[in-house]
Amino acid sequence: MNKTAIVVCGNSGIDYLGEFKDVFVLRSILNLGDKEYEDFIDIKAEEFYDIIAKDPDINLSTSQTPVGKIREMFENIKNLGYKSIICITISSKLSGTVNAMRLAGTMVEDIDVYTIDSKFVSYVEVWMVLEAKRLLESGMDASLVASEISLIPERCRVYVCVDTLKFLVKNGRLNGVAGFLGSFLKLKPLLEFDNDGALVTKEKIRTLPKAKARTMEILLSEIKGKNIILIGVYTNNKEEVNALLEQVKANANDCNLVDVVLCPLTPVVGAHAGPGTFALGYIEIK
């Protein structure tokens, strides 16, 4: 059986959930103030959110991993004896990482590279990694595994609430807000990932408590009768998001909660979302 590696971008947050055999993490770069940081290696989520909460106007930008560095990673993986690589990336609507991985994959000989756009970010990517590992360990061929996990995003929904749109708008990560930015920046919008993986406005809500309540209302209505993994993603608000998950669990009497996951939003993603952001979502399990 050919040995297969899995490469996932650090935007998944997998670094915060442990180390996994045959899984390699490709991390992006965070530019904060006058310093450059490799996500997770040089700066962790808690420290990052503390910095930008105290100084929201600090110079802040991100950069994806250069194609040359991705190619070098693929070459190193090949030299370790792997015959194929399954790559899982942040949504192509949020980053060019997927295209960079695809290009790098064409530059490495004698190894098959399958690159999959998760159409999400954070734990959805992690789950795709875990499912890929499970299927590979069952003996499934890498090409079939890639095809199988590419269907996972169709069974996922994630709703995002940001405390301010300042960071998303500044970095061009939000669509569909032209024409009413002046007033919209003062709201607590409820966002969602559309079918193409773009982050779009679902509803405009005026207060954070109402946004939390509406998010849970939508979530509870959608998970009825389903087997799901419930997801909570936090920035500098871990206890608040954990409380939301507990409320969902207490009221989700008509679905099967396979698992409940709470994880941080990584600094590189958080640079575009800002402090106070949280997300609730689910993955439907077949």
The mean per-residue pLDDT over the stretch 221-238 comes to 97
Output the CA–CA distances (angstroms, integers) from residue 107 to 71, 101, 284, in the order listed.
7, 10, 36
Mean pLDDT of the chain: 92
Cα distance between residue 230 and residue 224, in whole Å: 12
The pLDDT, as a whole number, for residue 173 is 56
The pLDDT, as a whole number, for residue 182 is 42
pTM comes to 0.94
Cα distance between residue 284 and residue 286, in whole Å: 6
For residue 176, pLDDT beyond 80: no
For residue 142, pLDDT beyond 50: yes
Query: 64: which residues sit within 8 A by CB, 6+ positions away?
Result: 28, 29, 95, 96, 97, 100
**238-251 vs 208-222: helix axis angle to the nearest 10?**
40
The pLDDT, as a whole number, for residue 184 is 54
Q: Please state, for a pLDDT cut of 70, what percent of the chain lies above it.
A: 93
For residue 190, pLDDT beyond 60: yes
For residue 223, pLDDT beyond 60: yes
Give the pLDDT band (50/70/90) at residue 172. Answer: low
Q: Three-class SS of residue 28?
A: coil
Look at 106-115, 154-163, 182-191 and tell me which has the smallest mean pLDDT: 182-191
The pLDDT, as a whole number, for residue 185 is 55
The mean per-residue pLDDT over the stretch 140-151 comes to 98
Domains of the chain: 4-28+64-150 (3.40.50.10440), 154-284 (3.30.1180.10)
CB burial of 118-141 (b: ≥16 within 10 Å; e: otherwise) equals bbbbbbbbbbbbbbbbebbeeebe
The pLDDT, as a whole number, for residue 178 is 42
The mean per-residue pLDDT over the stretch 220-235 comes to 97
Give the pLDDT band (50/70/90) at residue 2. Answer: confident
In this predicted model, what pLDDT tens digit does every residue of 48-62 receive, in sequence order?
Answer: 999 998 998 899 999
The pLDDT, as a whole number, for residue 163 is 84
The pLDDT, as a whole number, for residue 128 is 98
The mean per-residue pLDDT over the stretch 170-191 comes to 59
* Closest-CA residue to 13 (of 90, 91, 99, 119): 90
* Closest-CA residue to 279 (of 248, 235, 243): 235
Give the pLDDT band (50/70/90) at residue 177. Answer: very low
How would DSSP label each residue in 171-237?
TT--BS-TT-HHHHTTS--EEEE-TTS-EEEEE--SSHHHHHHHHHHHHHHHSTT-EEEEEEEESS-
User: Residue 267: what are its φ and ψ, rounded to 5°?
Assistant: -55, -40
Which tokens sit at 208? 């954070």
Cα distance between residue 121 and residue 12, in whole Å: 6
| Per-residue DSSP letter, 165 | S
Output the CA–CA distances (angstroms, integers) from residue 230 to 2, 14, 34, 156, 158, in the order listed.
34, 16, 38, 10, 10
The mean per-residue pLDDT over the stretch 137-166 comes to 94
Q: Are strands 256-264 and 227-234 parallel, antiparallel or unpaired?
A: parallel
The mean per-residue pLDDT over the stretch 164-176 comes to 64
